[in-house]
Amino acid sequence: MFHTNALIGLREGLEATMVVIILAAHLKKTGQRRSYPWLWGGIAAALVVTVSVFLIIHFGTKTLSTTGQELIGGIASLVTVALVVWMLIWMKGASRNMTAELEGKMEKAVAVGPVAVATVAIIAVAREGIETALLVFDSFSRSLGVPFAGLMTGVGISIVIGVAMYIGAVKINLRMFFQITGALLILVAAGILRYGITDLQEATVLPGLSSSPSPWAWSPAPTRTMTPRYSPSPPMKAPVTSTPMTPPPATTTSRSPTTARRSPSSTSTPTADAWSARSRTSARVPPVSCSSPSPRPAPTRPPVSRAWSAKVSATT
């Protein structure tokens, strides 16, 4: 993050420094030194606008929910990538005429008044500052210390180079410089684009990371899952072993020959064993037969006596 933000600060800072040098040199060449305070006032106002935009974007998104922060971060990343691409295309065609264009604008502003001079400075410098704020927004949303140190390092180097060029101590091939930094900014824009796509995926705008379907995302057809034809058999339970109950041993009483014949009192009074055996016998229920009942016998006529038969035959 340090090198990325240092590159952004160096590139954008040097562009802003070149704008200031061109405007100041034009005022010096045309003898409009009285407009210097308005020029520096416009530059200070542009810095205030840049810092305000960055703080609004950075801390304004902190009040949103997690999904809202990811959504704003993804949109800001896509806007930043589009801005970098547009800036590189614009610099390729307008870098040759940038000096003449800025001098023409400043000449018209001087003719209008000091407020116009400040306005030209604000617009020219704030454009580079807002580009810088958008480029470093994604890295500052993850941490503050290292990205801030890298950004300040790049901006400081760009200011030193700009002042040295203004006083004539250093000469730099600006065309080669902007070509090299433009190629490096393409790599930076690719990383910002990756972060933007990841943020949109976390915000469920694009499919990829989130398991919940997105209302804007294309959902493929559901795939069929093969189910087994036969379900596995449940595990067999261990058989329950029970200890068989053994009947109590029967007690046998031996009779002596002398006591084989019982007395009347002993035969008339049943013992406890006899009562239990009788209760078990009476409690038994005879089995119910399910077979069809036997047919009833046909009625038979009573036998007729011989006298009655002779009497019946005599009357006939």
Q: Check whether 253 has a pLDDT greater than 60.
A: no
More confident residue, 149 or 287: 149
Exposure string over 79-110, b if 16+ CB within 10 A, otherwise e = ebbeebeebbeebeeeeeebeeebbebbeebb
Residue 3 identity:
H
d(CA 170, CA 161): 7
Residue 118 has pLDDT above 80, yes or no: yes
- Which pLDDT band holds residue 220 (cuts at 50, 70, 90)? low
Say which residues have a Cβ less than 8 Å from residue 239's Cβ, sequence separation at least 6: none
Residue 288: pLDDT band (50, 70, 90) is low
Exposed e or buried b per residue across 3-34, where buried means at least 16 C-beta atoms within 10 angstroms of its C-beta:
ebbbbbbbbbbbbbbbbbbbbbebbeeeebee
Which structure tokens are listed for 121? 């400075």
- Per-residue pLDDT tens for 262-287? 444 444 455 555 555 555 555 455 55
Q: What share of the chain is helix, strand, coil (3-state, %, to 5)?
A: 65, 0, 35
Read off the pLDDT of each residue in 117-121 and give the average, rounded to a whole number: 86
Distance CA 207, CA 204 (A): 6
Mean pLDDT of the 94-117 span: 77
For the chain, what are the domain ranges?
Answer: 2-202
Backbone φ, ψ for residue 288 (5° rounding): -90, 125
DSSP, residue by residue, 158-182: HHHHHHHHHTTS----HHHHHHHHH
| The pLDDT value given to residue 234 | 56
Q: Which residue has the higher pLDDT, 40 or 247?
A: 40
User: Does 155 score more than 70 pLDDT?
Assistant: yes
Sign, Cα dihedral of 176, 182, 183, 184 = positive
Q: Does residue 22 surpass a pLDDT of 60?
A: yes
Q: Are 102 and 19 in contact (CB under 8 A)?
A: yes
Task: Encode pLDDT of 157-184 as tens digits.
Answer: 888 888 888 787 667 777 777 778 778 8
pLDDT reported for residue 315: 64
What confidence score (pLDDT) does residue 103 get?
76
Structure-block tokens of residue 103: 């001098």
pLDDT digits (tens, 9 = 90+) for 180-204: 877 888 888 888 888 888 888 887 7
More confident residue, 53 or 67: 53
By the 10 Å C-beta count (0-12 exposed, 13-18 middle, 19+ buried), 184 is classed as middle
In terms of pLDDT, which residue wins out, 300 or 156? Answer: 156
Contact between 135 and 192 (Cβ < 8 Å) = yes
- The confidence score (pLDDT) of residue 81 equals 85
pLDDT at 149 > cutoff 80: yes
Report how far residue 149's alpha carbon sits from residue 137's, in angstroms, rounded to the nearest whole number: 14
Contacts of residue 44, defined as CB under 8 A and 6 or more positions apart, other chains included, come to none
Question: Nearest Cα to 57, choosing from 79, 32, 76, 33?
Answer: 76
